Amino acid sequence: MTSYAAVVGPGGAGANDAAELLTLAEQVGRGLAGHGVIVVTGGLDGVMAAACRGASSVGGITVGLLPGDVRGAGNQWLSVALPTGLGELRNGLLVRAVDVVVAVGGSWGTLSEVALAVRTGTPVIGLRFWSITGDGVDPTAVLEVQSASAAVDAALGAIRR
Amino acid sequence: MTSYAAVVGPGGAGANDAAELLTLAEQVGRGLAGHGVIVVTGGLDGVMAAACRGASSVGGITVGLLPGDVRGAGNQWLSVALPTGLGELRNGLLVRAVDVVVAVGGSWGTLSEVALAVRTGTPVIGLRFWSITGDGVDPTAVLEVQSASAAVDAALGAIRR
Amino acid sequence: MTSYAAVVGPGGAGANDAAELLTLAEQVGRGLAGHGVIVVTGGLDGVMAAACRGASSVGGITVGLLPGDVRGAGNQWLSVALPTGLGELRNGLLVRAVDVVVAVGGSWGTLSEVALAVRTGTPVIGLRFWSITGDGVDPTAVLEVQSASAAVDAALGAIRR
Amino acid sequence: MTSYAAVVGPGGAGANDAAELLTLAEQVGRGLAGHGVIVVTGGLDGVMAAACRGASSVGGITVGLLPGDVRGAGNQWLSVALPTGLGELRNGLLVRAVDVVVAVGGSWGTLSEVALAVRTGTPVIGLRFWSITGDGVDPTAVLEVQSASAAVDAALGAIRR
């Protein structure tokens, strides 16, 4: 059966390492799609668009679950652009729709997706993702990797388990 | 820009004219996909599967918004199968995601989709759909047609408007 | 355990019998609350506000599930006003939250709520509601009544079953 | 206008300081309700129940947005128990419905609520909440306090702003 991976990350360019994040996200999208994985994102710009661009460059299928009501808000590399009108509630829908979540960079929206994924048992791979510490945090909940290729390998491994 | 049409209708086989409905749904799916329209359904059996089978037969893209949490519940003709875990609330999501709704046959779930579409201004084409009468019902709210080809033509017309 | 009833119906004043509908909705709300039933509505005007006003007049608890993001859009008779930001998807949430649905008058939004309720097995009482006919329509799916007091009695009966 | 605060936190008893968290949550619920604030929670056990118990002890209104379909799963201190059937997506609904979020303790579900609140501009108060660090984290996004009374004061201050 076809597998599905979410690539999540900041939509904007606020971070210091924004350009590097986009390169990483594009590599992750390309790597996943190269293995036949459908790439699902929030459909907008930044990391979302970069992952779609990468997946699209090797002929992969990309799906965007847009927060608003307008299809045209989706980035240009989406095979399928679905306006949900759910606002940030679409983050939870995105997590549900996939077999694994890859977070590239951090943002509060990204954090909500990672938290929901861990909560519901969907595997999460983190690449330049934020750190979470505190009483009861399982340090293995997010599998931290250091490169795009390692993120792809870890995602494929999580899907196969 | 690519257009999206929902094909909605009964998932089960209770209706007297079930076999005929499936044939009609398959023709509608094939006709829409033949014009490059992405066909979105609830992803399950009956009219949903028939529309996907038709669209798939001409190489079209089909999307299933599944009510449950399990991707495997989707029919075999889905290009993209998205578990939503929303139950019947996914009916509203389906309506939001498309440019036009084609109802083939009637059921209570189908009726909820048609009603939400009319309520939110998405055009609705009805083929063997139920009748709704009462104070304040606009008789033109659902455009009734008598054949699969007329349904496809009406849907394409509604998208272009 | 406390019971919950949705009172649904047109929010606007388009119908010929709008004033009469508001009177009926107020009587239904009052009657339900008089029996300790919590009245849940879509929180806006028209039938929704009238039902809340009636329930509030006898000290009942009223809950509004608002379609938008702004609490202030709720009518003034709400004990609890919850903005959902779901738009018309909140109609499905409303149906899920209650033990019985009473439709006073008809509209497309009301129809979506009734259809979802029948689809998911929540009992529906109809007072001046629309008629639905077609292949496979169970004529007993919506219990039609002719007065506010009959609607209250039927709703209480459905809750107790 | 009446104000609404969410009290969020772990539902289970895994944390080392579970008993202390429950005491804090109860004090927060009581303090908020004592100022006329409606307390909204996820409706289940642990911190959610403790906050409701506290609010209920001073006659406050408590609302539970339950993840499942069954009202009976709600804790016994709920004035209004609403089954949403949304699973963990109800976390986003909870955040939308309130004017301020108070997190007592940490868990992945709690983290998803805090992240969505920060993302959407709802003020967040943290009491024994987890720490989040990384590129782009605004350290003032969650206002950390050290006691239940400070949490109540901060929540009231955030509402009034």
Is residue D34 very low, low, confident or very high in pLDDT (cuts 50, 70, 90)?
very high
Single pTM value for the model: 0.96
Q: What is the mean pLDDT of residues B47-72?
A: 97
- What are the chain C neighbours of B119 within 8 Å (beta carbons)? 88, 107-109, 112
- What are the chain B neighbours of A93 within 8 Å (beta carbons)? 84, 86
Is B53 near chain C, with CB under 8 Å? no
Dist CA D141 CA A16 (whole Å): 19
How does pLDDT run across D76-97, given as a tens digit for each residue? 999 999 999 999 999 999 999 9
Does pLDDT of C13 surpass 70?
A: no
**β-strand B131-133 against C131-133: which pairing, if any?**
antiparallel
Q: Which residue of D has its CA nearest to A15?
A: D136
Does pLDDT of D157 surpass 80?
A: yes
C-alpha distances (whole Å) from B85 to each of A96, B36, B89 are: 7, 29, 9
Q: Which two tokens stand for residue B107?
A: 């059921």
Is C70 near chain A, with CB under 8 Å? no
Q: What is the DSSP letter of D73?
A: G
- What are the chain A neighbours of B96 within 8 Å (beta carbons)? 69, 83-85
pLDDT at position A12 is: 80
Dist CA B126 CA B128 (whole Å): 6
ipTM over 0.90: yes
- What are the chain D neighbours of C79 within 8 Å (beta carbons)? 61, 80
What DSSP line would sit under B116-127, residue for residue?
Answer: HHHHHT--EEEE
Is residue B95 very low, low, confident or very high in pLDDT (cuts 50, 70, 90)?
very high
The neighbouring-strand residues paired with C41 are C64
pLDDT at position A18 is: 86
Is residue D16 very low, low, confident or very high in pLDDT (cuts 50, 70, 90)?
low
Question: B80–A1: do the CB atoms touch at under 8 Å?
Answer: no
Is residue D160 very low, low, confident or very high in pLDDT (cuts 50, 70, 90)?
confident
| Residues in A 103-142 with any Cβ partner in B closer than 8 A | none
The neighbouring-strand residues paired with B63 are B40, B80
pLDDT at position C161 is: 77
Q: What is the mean pLDDT of residues B8-26?
A: 85
pLDDT at position A160 is: 84
Does pLDDT of B14 surpass 80?
A: no
pLDDT at position D43 is: 97
Regions of chain A with pLDDT less than 50: none
Residue type, D51: A
Q: What is the mean pLDDT of residues C17-45?
A: 96
Question: B69–A96: do the CB atoms touch at under 8 Å?
Answer: yes
Dist CA A143 CA C65 (whole Å): 39
Does pLDDT of B15 surpass 70?
A: no
Does pLDDT of D14 surpass 80?
A: no
Q: What is the mean pLDDT of residues C83-94?
A: 97
Would you tell me how many other CB atoms lie within 10 Å of the CB of residue C57?
A: 14
Cβ atoms of residues D10 and D114 within 8 Å: no
CA torsion angle for B65, B68, B69, B70 (degrees, to 10)? -80
- Mutate which of A82, A91, A96 to test chain B, going by most B C-beta atoms within 10 A? A82
Question: Vertex A91, ends A36 and D99: CA angle to 5°?
Answer: 175
Is B97 near chain C, with CB under 8 Å? no
